[in-house]
Amino acid sequence: MLGLSNLRRVLLAVSFFLFPSFGVADELSGANTAWILTATALVLFMTIPGLSLFYAGLVRSKNVLSVLMQCFTLTCLMSILWFVVGYTIAFGSAEEQGPFIGDFGNVLFAAMGVDSLNGDIPAVLFAAFQMTFAVITPALIVGAFAERMKFSAMLLFSSAWLLLVYSPVCHWVWGGGWLAEMGFLDFAGGSVVHITAAVAALVAALVIGNRRGFPGTPMMPHNMTMTVTGAGMLWVGWFGFNAGSALAANGSAAMALLVTHISAAAGSLAWMACEWIRHGKPSVLGIVTGMVAGLGTITPASGSVGPAAALVIGLCAGTICFFATLFLKQRLKIDDSLDVFPVHGVGGILGTLLVGVFCATDLGVFSGLGFGGDNGSIGAQVQVQLIGIVATFSYTAVVSWLLLKLVDKVLGLRVSEDQETEGLDIVLHEERGYDIR
């Protein structure tokens, strides 16, 4: 009982090689529980304070609190929604799960008790760990519409989005849904988290429009030290995100931690090199953005590849996301304010593709840990990965667009011009970020 079965199916489909004996794991593993307790704390740490500092440092000081407020409120609201119904949409409660959404047997976690297990960890722990993913994904979108969206509209949009986009896609991939059935590989959320968030971000940037003055007026980060602090926290927390996704304290978790670290480092250095070559000087904003690219890109692959492949993945991530950012901003002139799409979206897509290559076990030093499901070749795996990318991309794009249009009708998406000029902190929250004398 207890959402255990559906997890099993995922594990079976996606990463069966990791848990050779999970079929008999009906006893609690204290060790795995210890690690997932920690990992849950680490993933929460990624959103608050990690991501919220990363983002908040990048906006102008008149909007700093609005960003912190959005991230914080999403942490609360998404948690409650996940508890009430999001979890059960994604993971359901019964042994057998449908291809598109779960069942409603775990509304309010009704089918879980203190002794229930999911695999060999407490069922409520699995649900809480997943809750932190359901928190950070909508929080990532915040970067796209920062400095101009109404707080109320943001809450309404995010709530609907969690239930109508995140939860179903999560079911497809991790809840025993149709992508899981195909042996689609996404260890820690390249598609579930990064593609969905980034596509929603792109759509939101397009629907809500550019900030006043973009791109002419300087809109400098108001506190780079805050952004770099948040970046460090993201890196640390990401160990919980990726290595926690092993749901165990074992070699797989350790390898996930290692490849995560290496890809982050490689992504950072690649971005730094691009900047140094192209602009003449390396910047700290550049290197931390490369880090996020490296981390986002390794995420889907972190359970399937080895460290040498992670080096390649990280280098590709840093380079490609660098040029994607320039392209979106300078060519397309889309004000995805904190560059959510070119970093998380491009990275998420790239990683979800590359895992299809580097999971292969016969690539010498670049070998990985094996294909997903019944896939028997790089070609087959890459095809499945492509299907997954296209499906999550287009589903997210369509539903996000509809939701934004709807919210615009109901509440209006954007503050007035004067309010935007004055800044959201005073206008929406009657507070100021700093009063330093």
Which of positions 304-333 make contact with its own copies (CB under 8 A)? Answer: 306-308, 311
Q: How many residues bind its own copies (CB under 8 A)?
A: 111
Distance between CA 353 and CA 311 in Å, rounded? 15
Residues 6+ apart with CB under 8 A from 85: 104, 107, 163
Torsion over CA: 407, 409, 410, 411 (sign): positive
What whole-number distance in Å separates Cα of residue 240 and Cα of residue 243?
A: 5
What contacts 308, CB < 8 A, 6 or more positions away?
365, 366
Q: Which of residues 158-177 bind other proteins (CB under 8 A)?
A: none
Name which position in 103, 120, 186, 339 contacts other proteins (CB under 8 A).
339
3-class SS at 1? coil
Of 106 and 400, which CB lies nearer to its own copies in the complex structure?
106
Q: Under rule CB under 8 A, which residues in 180-219 are in contact with other proteins?
A: 215, 217-219
Q: Which amino acid is at 5?
A: S
> Shortest gap between Cβ of 371 and its own copies (angstroms)?
15
Residue type, 15: S
- Region from 183-191, 193-201, 303-311, 375-383 binding its own copies, contact rule CB under 8 A: 303-311
Helix, strand or coil, per DSSP, at residue 118: strand
Q: Judged by CB under 8 A, which of 283, 367, 383, 419 binds other proteins?
A: 283
Strands 121-122 and 117-118: antiparallel
What is the DSSP-derived secondary structure letter of residue 7?
Answer: H
| Residues in region 217-236 near its own copies by CB under 8 A | 220-226, 228-229, 231-233, 235-236
Stretch that binds other proteins, among 344-352, 356-364, 386-394, 425-433 (CB under 8 A): 425-433
Q: What single-letter DSSP state applies at residue 222?
A: S
Site string for its own copies, 353-382 (x = CB under 8 A): ------------x---x-------------
**Tokens in use for 249?**
């304290």
C-beta of 45 vs 371, nearer to its own copies: 45
For the record, the structure tokens of 382 come out as 């890459």
Which span sits near other proteins by CB under 8 A: 168-176, 182-190, 195-203, 283-291?
A: 283-291
Q: Does 258 participate in binding its own copies (rule CB under 8 A)?
A: yes
**Counting contacts by CB under 8 A, is residue 110 touching other proteins?**
no
Residue 108 touches which member of its own copies, other proteins, none, C-beta under 5-8 Å by kind: its own copies
Query: Is residue 318 within 8 Å of residue 267, measured between CB atoms?
Result: yes
Residue 7 within binding range of its own copies, rule CB under 8 A = no
Q: In this complex, which beta carbon is closest to other proteins, that of residue 147 or of residue 339?
A: 339
The residues that bridge with 414 in the sheet, in sequence order, are 149
| Residue type (1 letter), 359 | C
Chosen from other proteins, its own copies, none, partner binding at 298 (C-beta under 5 to 8 Å by type) = none
Q: How far is the CB of 102 from its own copies (least distance, A)?
A: 18
**Shortest distance (Å) from residue 296 CB to other proteins:** 15
Q: Position of tokens 């999001």? A: 86
Q: What angle do CA 58, 265, 279 make, to 5 degrees?
A: 55
C-alpha–C-alpha distance, residues 45 and 38, integer Å: 10
215 binds, among its own copies, other proteins, none (CB under 5 to 8 A by kind): other proteins
**How many CB atoms are closer than 10 A to CB 331?**
8
Judged by CB under 8 A, the chain residues 13 through 42 that form the site for its own copies are 28-35, 37-38, 40-42
297 binds its own copies (CB under 8 A): no
Encoded amino acid at 417, one letter: E
Cβ neighbors of 374 (< 8 A, separation 6 or more) are 183
> Does residue 115 interact with its own copies by CB under 8 A?
yes
Looking at the Cβ atoms of 24 and 436, the one nearer to its own copies is 436
DSSP H helices, 282-368, are 284-298, 307-326, 340, 346-358
Q: In degrees to the nearest 10, what's the CA dihedral of 18, 24, 29, 31?
A: -30
**253 alpha carbon, distance to own chain's centre:** 18
According to CB under 8 A, which one of 70, 196, 242, 325 is a site residue for other proteins? Answer: 325
Interacting residue with other proteins among 21, 114, 362, 430 (CB under 8 A): 430
Q: Which does 69 bind (CB under 5 to 8 A by kind): other proteins, its own copies, none?
A: its own copies
Please state, in angstroms and rounded to a whole number, the distance separating the CA atoms of residues 180 and 411: 37
Identify what 339 binds: its own copies, other proteins, none; CB under 5 to 8 Å per kind: other proteins
* Size of interface with other proteins, in residues (CB under 8 A): 23
Positions in the binding site for other proteins (CB under 8 A): 215, 217-221, 279, 281, 283, 285-286, 289, 325-326, 329-330, 339, 421, 426, 430-432, 437
